């Protein structure tokens, strides 16, 4: 059971390091998919939105990590 | 490969080159990390548990590939592109985030020599136990399996969608061979490999593949077809470098203000 739990956590760890980054990325993909499939957004625009969204999520994640590391080292 | 149409040929060359490069570089980083632990086991305990652990892990990984290959071939192409694209975005952004934080000095760089010293120290402390051989073999098994699972994922992910699994596998095998040859020659951890730079490049490449395929899975006809990967890659790389530069600059400003 412990081995299985360890294997599962390692598997999840392949894709998730910063939980917020993973959640934001999944929400972005879900929103873009809904816009393309339900709201009639051209798929190419969906792809472009995905790229811009990923850049924004990445920037937010590294800036947040930097702020928290600096706050921790200032204490 | 169609040779008659120059655009299509260029697109195929781009796909093959980017697939082999991504698989080679990502696998190289993973094999370097696994090699450090196997070397620590071999030098501290003996080569028997190191090789048995490595062999068993390789067998599990081979079984994983044999199991996943046929399952993936049953999934319709667009759904497969979308699912693998999503996983690649998550996987690639995780690598890229860490590489940016390391490159800008927010996180310390990964140190193979330190990892080797820690593993060697642990194995020496276990050397007196009756189960020392088993524990050493287990350490090698776990290291090869954990790093190998990432290699398997990368090979399957970058290779499956466009039927490039063979090229991706060749890239991974080339990386494995190169790490083994360098390791046999130097006989110590490969601490001088620019691991973070490689992770940065791989993070950019894998995220680009992810965005491209998720887009294709949604039905996007990217301008220039596969060549669009290069454009996405360039935007991501430029953006990441700007972020690193900004973080380095703000770090020196914070340092100067103190």
Residues B198, B29 contacting (CB under 8 angstroms): yes
pLDDT at residue A32 in the model: 96
What are the structure tokens assigned to B31, written together?
Answer: 């094999």
CA B150 to chain centroid, in Å, comes to: 6
pTM of the model: 0.84
Tracing tokens 């499956």 back to the chain, one arrives at B160
Residue labelled with tokens 């071939």: B73
The CA distance from A1 to the nearest CA of chain B, in Å, is: 17
pLDDT at B245: 93
B115-122: long-range contacts at Cβ-Cβ below 8 A with a sequence spacing of 24 or more?
A: B115/B33, B115/B36, B115/B37, B115/B189, B116/B36, B116/B39, B116/B40, B116/B188, B116/B189, B116/B191, B119/B36, B119/B37, B119/B40, B119/B41, B119/B44, B120/B40, B120/B43, B120/B44
Q: Where are the domains of chain B?
A: 6-257
Tens place of pLDDT per residue across chain B (258 aa): 444 566 666 667 778 888 899 899 989 999 998 999 999 898 888 889 999 999 999 999 888 888 887 788 788 888 888 899 999 999 999 999 999 999 998 888 888 888 888 888 888 888 777 788 888 899 999 999 988 988 998 888 888 877 788 898 899 999 999 998 988 888 787 877 788 889 999 999 999 999 999 999 999 999 988 889 999 999 999 999 999 999 988 866 665 555
Considering only residues B128 and A38, tell me which one the structure prediction assigns the higher pLDDT: A38
Task: Give residue limits of the domains in chain A.
Answer: 17-74
> Which residue of A lies nearest to B88 if distances are taken between CA atoms?
A15
Region A52-65 average pLDDT: 95
Q: Which residues of B touch A (CB under 8 A)?
A: 86-87, 89-91, 93-94, 96-98, 100-101, 104, 106-107, 146, 149-150, 153, 207, 211-212, 214-216, 218-223, 232, 235-236, 239-240, 243, 247, 250, 254
Nearest to B214 among A10, A29, A63 (CB): A29
| Predicted complex ipTM | 0.90
Give the span between the Cα atoms of B102 and B41, in whole angstroms. Answer: 28
Q: Which residues of B15-50 are buried (b: 16+ CB within 10 A; e: fewer)?
A: bbebbbebbbbbbbbbbbbbbbbbbbbbebbeeebb
Instruction: List, in order, residues 6 or more apart from B110 with CB less than 8 Å away.
Output: B102, B195, B196
């Amino acid at each position: 059971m412990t081995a299985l739990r360890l294997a599962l956590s390692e598997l999840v760890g392949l894709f998730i390091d910063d939980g917020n980054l993973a959640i934001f990325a999944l929400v972005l993909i879900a929103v873009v998919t809904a816009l393309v499939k339900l709201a009639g957004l051209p798929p190419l625009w969906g792809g472009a939105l995905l790229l811009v969204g990923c850049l924004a999520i990445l920037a937010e994640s590294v800036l947040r990590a930097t702020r928290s590391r600096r706050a921790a080292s200032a204490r | 490969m169609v040779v008659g149409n120059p655009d299509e040929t260029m697109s195929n060359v781009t796909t093959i080159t980017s697939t082999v490069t991504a698989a080679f570089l990502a696998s190289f980083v993973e094999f370097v990390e696994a090699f450090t632990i196997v070397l620590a086991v071999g030098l501290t305990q003996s080569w028997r548990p190191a090789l048995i652990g490595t062999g068993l892990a390789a067998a599990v990984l081979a079984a994983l590939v044999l199991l996943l290959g046929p399952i993936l071939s049953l999934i319709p192409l667009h759904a497969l592109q979308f699912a693998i694209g999503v996983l690649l975005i998550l996987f690639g952004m995780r690598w890229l985030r860490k590489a940016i934080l390391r490159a800008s000095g927010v996180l310390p760089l990964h140190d193979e020599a330190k990892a080797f010293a820690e593993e060697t120290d642990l194995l020496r402390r276990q050397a007196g136990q009756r189960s020392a051989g088993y524990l050493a073999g287990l350490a090698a098994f776990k290291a090869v399996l954990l790093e190998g699972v990432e290699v398997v994922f990368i090979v399957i992910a970058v290779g499956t969608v466009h039927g490039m699994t063979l090229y991706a596998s060749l890239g991974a095998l080339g990386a494995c061979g190169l790490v083994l040859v360098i390791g046999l020659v130097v006989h110590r951890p490969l601490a001088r490999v620019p691991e973070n730079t490689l992770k940065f490049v791989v993070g950019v490449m894998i995220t680009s593949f992810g965005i491209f395929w998720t887009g294709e899975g949604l039905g996007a006809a990217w301008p220039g077809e596969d060549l669009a990967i290069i454009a996405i890659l360039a935007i991501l790389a430029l953006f990441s470098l700007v972020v690193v530069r900004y973080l380095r600059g703000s770090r020196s400003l914070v340092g100067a203000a103190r």
